[in-house]
Homo-oligomer: A and B are copies of this chain.
């Protein structure tokens, strides 16, 4: 607490500037100002893969060096591992929110590259229900630990049977994969998609979190990077429908066949490991 108190005091400033004035030249008066990265042991990075508009997330604990990657993409493995090395971290888990249909997961490549490291190779993780190959499987209530932090697993099927959402309660962040996107959601017309199930899961497992939880999805196609439970509860044009309206809306969508699905699914079923694709 003393440490915290000292950190806050550091930002207390005073000036004569009026609260609502357009003041370009005076300092501000702070009632209470706290840095956004006060948990100095926690590292968080968001990465973007342009072709599939996929986000990959790095979460890590500085003292233990333990790092987790959520939804790595095959083409950007070198970038992600470079960042992990730059920060002096060790990749503990390479995690998928589900079996993706739009890109090949980087988990297989990450395992291959880290297998030659002095440290243990990273462990690939996906939900038991997904039917995909991985080193470890998670289900409702599982916890993925890195240093003193953990991700709570919540099963959120509907886009696919095996979709899970990872919740970081300590940092009030939720990684929703394709179950909930910013002002949207994943399609439900293939890979065991079920709009009724998706609607129930998103409302009961994600939008039931406190309104300040930040939502980090697997994709965004308009250049946005984050939302919040409050925003999606108020403004998601699909999730603010009734269940019946939502099911009808999703069932009537005429979407193109996913470009990469025929390539991506066989790979992602085996965690992106080439040698296993044709077995």
Contacts from A to B (Cβ < 8 Å): 1, 4-5, 8, 11, 17, 19-40, 42, 44-50, 64, 66, 76, 79, 83, 86-87, 92-93, 123, 125, 136, 138, 141-145, 147-150, 169-173, 212, 214, 222-226, 231, 234-235
CB pair B28 A149 closer than 8 Å: yes
A43 CB to nearest B CB, Å:
10
Copies of this chain, count: 2
Partner of A148, one of B28, B37, B171, B222: B28
Q: Please, how many angstroms separate the alpha-carbon atoms of A224 and B86 in the complex?
A: 13
Shortest Cβ distance from A53 into chain B, in angstroms? 8
Q: Are B35 and A172 in contact (CB under 8 A)?
A: yes
* Chain B positions within 8 Å of A223 at CB level: 47-50, 76, 79
Q: Which of A24, A31, A171 has the most CB of B within 10 A?
A: A24
Residue of chain B at shortest CB distance from A56: B223
Contacts of A21 in B (CB 8 A): 145
A149 touches which of B26, B33, B125 (Cβ 8 Å): B33
Alpha-carbon separation in the docked complex, A212 to B34 (Å): 14
How close is A85's CB to chain B, nearest CB, in angstroms? 10
Known contacts A225-B47, A235-B86; decide if A36 and B33 are in contact (CB<8 Å): no
- Known A-B contacts A169-B11, A225-B45; the reply to A33 vs B26 at CB < 8 A is no
Query: What chain B residues lie within 8 Å of A45 (beta carbons)?
Result: 224-226
How many Å from the CB of A170 to the closest CB on chain B?
4
Q: Are A35 and B136 in contact (CB under 8 A)?
A: no
Contacts of A46 in B (CB 8 A): 225-226
